Structure 1
């Protein structure tokens, strides 16, 4: 059984299904409000009945009918009547099962009175406004937001609407007016349009010629709720001068008194000479309609007004929700600036207009923001970003489009004369005042002139990001303009990455083996396994081109595992051929070595190939060895416990710490070919190679040199005390078949 779960907002409780079967047919108690639950999830049925079962609305309890599929619901609805509310899941057997059922209820069964509330656990399947209008859906909620309080509020509002509709069914004109008005309101977009619709519909509904306005409390994006003010968002002609002004500027004490009482008491006020209609809603959005006349309503008009107000409240909830979703979709809630999606919309519009030829896009990245955020806290970091956004708005807001497109990255779109490095970087010359502290920042900028952009907005943004990355690589606090050469380079890398993935999947990669020699005795001690790539056209791609791409894409982990297994298999094969003292050196990349499953991969390769671990040597680079010494020491200890030896490749190129080197449990140092190449006839050359040999001897480590190409280099290295080497002087990297032939030839010498 699942444990009891509590909502974070109120006490809506989801319990296990009861042991007995719920009755899914019609309730026989017609003194109650009949609520039909249609959902394919039994937990939703039990949670809903638990949340509402003990409640009374209008002094009447609720009774429930249950259907677990659209087909079952159809069968029940054919015979049952007096259903007040249908709580209907949007997605059941099919994605549109809910809407098909609504269509059946409204058009086939002609059930116009029942109130339908759609619910969904999948917001992505939310019905469009057209669907809500066409199918006469009374409310829509996601299950995650429908807590007990909100469920009760929605059901109460729906039942009140149902009761009123039934009571005035004799007045078809009034009912049709309400439905038409509500339908039109539901089709509006934005709070201001909705308010204008409410104002015109209510005057038509009550056949009034009065004047008035609607005011609402609004919070600007990026501002605290303490800054809210009541603004007049819709007016009739007489009050048009007040439109978009804050309410206190309206110099009419009597009017302000009526509205103030309505808001403070959260109810409609009907004075002899003025009216303030308060629309209650779940979102608690303060929304009041003022009319400059007293209303003298008969009973039917009061009922019509109540029903209309209920529908307006539901519609207001939806408008507020849609506005909030719109803000989430298009604006950054921290700074109030546009977000990436809104920027792309504006960017596409600019690229399709005459403004393209003189516009530029810039990405502004705050340098070292992550360190500041970690050191001073996320709250301080948010204040810092808001301060940067404010300064950008003060400088560019009237003439350019601003957006926040990353955690510490802003975008600026506008005329090339404004969107230029000097103007932008100048903003960071003065410290920012953050939480009564002065903070000096720098920024790095990437830019593109839109007349050089051939694609759409996403392409322009991508190209600007390429320029930004190039600027960050070259110099923090500087800038780079995008050039077509940058794009060609990136595209070539992407193409190479796709080709590499295809080559690996189709077994186009292969290993070669470069023998390692004892230069004094001439004995072959082993070989280094080296990865090669030959295209279908017969072209060899150099490792220094495809290895970095494999590391960047993450493909190196899979490739590295394959190299490890293949080299171990070859070592086993060589041992079968009689080379029982042969040692195989295998390169391990940083990404492969730091992967959580590396030790498991190594253990499996040794176990499955049955290779003796003492003849396997892993080569790691010096820079990799120094990146995280503590983690490395721990991992190396685990490797050595398996019996595998460790060599540090390219030694002398990574500026490593000797104190760290002493702590590493390694067996061998490999002198980089660059230092071997420095060995000349001049006695002063090759001093670094000699120093590495002496260091290794002092630490008790074996030394091997790579890239030995002539006898002079070999003799010099031997004179230094280095006896092991690999290079073209002894053998080029060989395929496995060529290696076998070469070894036989060495045996016969």
Structure 2
């Protein structure tokens, strides 16, 4: 028994390589796509077959990436529908879809046009090549590097997920969760095994250097007369012979059989660290007892290793790697426990976010950013007791969870104020925060965090140094929005969406020059849903694309009915949203709808808002010029309500400006010198555009705009929006009145 115990190693299975590497090629160049497919056919990389998936637009690629999470590499053309379509696709892939593993290689047909270093870094782009340089051999090299990086990232991600699953299930697998708990059980079980009254000490070696004069040792378990030494060193034993035996065992790295005791050694390669266990004996142990103790030592080593492994897994799954504080997983776990506890009503969750942290990272580098994060973490740890959880949720977002008597957002933000040196470099100058009183919340921990994040996002829209308080009505608002979206989809399928047409009048001739098609939703019970309730929801969720397509078809059908009834000169104004207009195939789709409806382009006017016009100016101008070349007129709606530069207005290919209703309401209420409507009319005249006023409700308003140079108007003074059949009857009556 004077040799160290031997234990067998369990072999772990090696990683299994995937059989298929999926590559997504995003390019609107059919010839290049065909060449790529040929080059990748029957190609193998790192033992796996390459499978090519092709998308001919960024929109199509975005849908594929959202549905298919196993894309290893994206070969992406720089310029697609728009000049920045490729970058927006990468942003969507990383930030919206949340795929950080797929590798991205940018391609261009223009040699020498390389993206800036900041673009490669900020958009997480892995490589860049001109198409002409990408020969078959080089393509194989690019594929190999990208697939290897992807495989490594997926392996790490899979390992992390697996480790977290192990941590969650370990409560059922392991009885002991700490070295101290296990150490106490070791001494108890040895006593039971040997059927002896024993006393003992379990200690852990902290250093790995063998020739140190003094060992660094911590006592992790003890019973009997040694109980008071737990968490101390060997000197705290007040038993020199015991300390000497333990020290000898650790130095020689072997089990010692002494006259009055047995000192068991458990090496780090089996137990996760070097342990020594001193066990007193009332009498010398016989050979059978020694054999039993040796066999039991195998279980002890595995128990120690399991505890060490559990501690490491706990650290990896629930600790932030950079700051060594709890992470999002730890926050969710504690938040879930708090929401289910009796202390929920007295607890509060505070989120704090460093304003413009990404800007500081860009300006000074990630090292500076890490320093700032460390500063925040330290100040928060120092400010609160152990019953308050400090966690890093992500990036520069921190969470503080604890009793509301201790956790106050204003006091937290005040921790970072340096009034004497407010502009000192390396300090946090501005924080935004949100407070959620858990008494106001009902639901899961994940939903609580999401709602708090949404509240913080809404607060930050107001600028820097903002604070928001969670409103419990937010939950019901989310639920209502979701129900409305489902109802809207059902309404489209059931044919409950229609358009009504509001006439536009030439104030001098009193002729009807056009009508605006306005969306209407009539439920099965006859109740109307206001457009302001469902149009913004459709835009926020992306459903505006199918909805806008439907409304366009309905408006063109109305234009056809007007022409058939003898009114081909009356143009129909169709509202087009930003997502619709910026589709790469919008012009083709629009032309297809025109042809299907049997309508000429001269009968149609496309209305876009000022904010849409300024969104991606060059792309919008290109689309509007194409429309005007077809014969379609273009109007800028809600002009004056945005913040666009007037210098862009003269470059915008549009036929008329629409004065927003809010400015028409000022007529008679505001002096002429302060009238925005007059300014819009003058601007339109200077850039050679017509102008039309909407929301005209009184004769005074009509007379005023006409006297100031605006000839066209629409509003309730003339007619309300109406269905096409009703409009045809109204047109007949209007014509009779004008004779």
TM range (shorter): 0.5 to 0.7
Return the alpha-carbon distance in structure 2 between the equivalents of residues 359 and 122 of structure 1: 30
Could you tell me how far apart the structure 2 residues matched to 1:569 and 1:195 are? 82
Deviation at 1:457, TM superposition (A): 5.5
2 CA distance for matches of 1:614 and 1:312? 87
**Matches of 1:566 and 1:683 in 2, distance apart?**
41
Q: What's the offset of the Cα at 1:301?
A: 8.6
Q: 1:729, CA displacement in angstroms?
A: 2.7
1:574 aligns with 2:562: yes
2:651 to 652, 655, 663: 663
How many residue pairs get aligned? The number is 574
Partner residue of 2:502 out of 514, 517, 537: 514
Q: 1:233 matched to which residue of 2?
A: 220
1:438 equivalent among 426, 432, 449: 426
Summarize deviations over 1:332-357 as a string: whole Å, max 9, x none: 44444444554455445545655455
Tell me if 1:554 matches 2:542: yes
Match of 2:231 in 1: 244
Shift of 1:657: 0.6
Q: Distance in 2 between matches of 1:695 and 1:510?
A: 35
Provide the C-alpha distance between the structure 1 equivalents of 2:671 and 2:177, rounded to a whole number of angstroms.
84
Moved more, 647-656 or 473-482: 473-482
Q: SS at 1:419's partner residue?
A: coil
Q: Which has the larger radius of gyration?
A: 1
The within-5 A match list for 1:302-321 is 319-321=307-309
Structure 1 partner of 2:606? 618
Structure 1 residue 289 and structure 2 residue 289: aligned? no
- In structure 2, relative to structure 1, the CA distance for the partners of 1:357 and 1:731 (3 Å cut) is closer
The whole-number CA distance in structure 2 between the counterparts of 1:195 and 1:745 is 97
SS of corresponding position for 1:212: strand
CA–CA distance in 2 between the matches of 1:387 and 1:280?
A: 35
Hey, what does 2:532 align to over in structure 1?
544
SS of aligned partner of 1:697:
helix
Among 676, 680, 702, the residue aligned to 1:688:
676
Say whether the 8 Å CA contact 1:466–1:486 is kept in structure 2.
Answer: no
Where 2:672 maps in the other structure, the secondary structure is coil
Alignment of 1:28-427 (within 5 A): 123=162, 186-197=174-185, 211-215=200-204, 231-237=218-224, 239-245=226-232, 254=244, 258=248, 261=251, 268=254, 275=263, 277-279=265-267, 281=269, 285-291=272-278, 319-347=307-335, 349-350=337-338, 355-356=343-344, 358-427=346-415
**Structure 1 position 439, deviation (Å):** 1.7
Does the Cα contact within 8 Å between 1:646 and 1:667 map onto a contact in 2? yes
8 Å Cα contact 1:621/1:648 also seen in 2: yes
- Contact 2:649-2:687 at 8 Å conserved across structures: no
Offset, 1:530:
0.9
Matches of 1:331 and 1:255 in 2, distance apart? 37
User: How high is the TM-score relative to the length of structure 2?
Assistant: 0.64
Q: Distance in 2 between matches of 1:449 and 1:365?
A: 18
The SS at the match of 2:373 is helix
What is the 5 A alignment of 1:589-600? 589-594=577-582
The CA distance in 1 between the partners of 2:688 and 2:335, in whole Å, is 63
**CA 1:740–1:308: 2 relative to 1, 3 Å:** farther
Confirm or deny: 8 A CA contact 2:491 2:497 kept in the other structure: yes
Cα RMSD for the two superposed structures: 4.9
Distance 2:296 2:588 in 1: 68
Question: Any idea what the Cα deviations from partners look like across 1:109-132, whole Å, max 9, x if unmatched?
Answer: xxxxxxxxxx99995997999999
* Helix, strand or coil at the partner of 2:650: helix
Q: TM-score, normalised by structure 1?
A: 0.63
Greater alpha carbon shift after TM alignment, 384-393 vs 707-716: 707-716
Residues 455 and 468 in structure 2, CA contact (< 8 A), matched pair in contact too = yes
Q: Which stretch shifts more, 464-473 or 296-305?
A: 296-305
> Residues 612 and 124 of structure 1: is their aligned pair in 2 closer, same or farther, counting only changes over 3 Å?
farther
CA distance in 1, matches of 2:473, 2:417: 32
For structure 1, list consecutive stretches of 5 or more residues without a partner in the other structure: 1-8, 18-45, 48-118, 134-184, 219-228
**Is structure 2 residue 421 aligned with structure 1 residue 429?**
no
1:709 and 2:715 correspond: no
Alignment of 1:721-732 (within 5 A): 721-732=709-720
**1:588 aligns to what?**
576
- How far apart are 1:192 and its partner, in Å? 4.4
Structure 1's 399 and 423: CA in aligned 2 closer, same or farther, altered over 3 A? farther
Q: What residue in structure 2 maps to residue 652 of structure 1?
A: 640
**Is contact 1:279-1:312 (8 Å) kept?**
no
How far has the Cα of 1:699 moved from its partner?
A: 1.9
Distance 1:320 1:303 in 2: 26
Give the superposition deviation at 1:656. Answer: 1.6
Structure 2 gaps, min length 5: 1-11, 21-46, 49-157, 208-215
Task: Rate the CA distance shift 1:377–1:248 in 2: closer, same or farther, 3 A.
Answer: farther
Question: Once the 2 structures are TM-superposed, how far is the Cα of residue 634 of structure 1 from its aligned partner?
Answer: 5.0
Q: Secondary structure at the match of 2:678?
A: helix
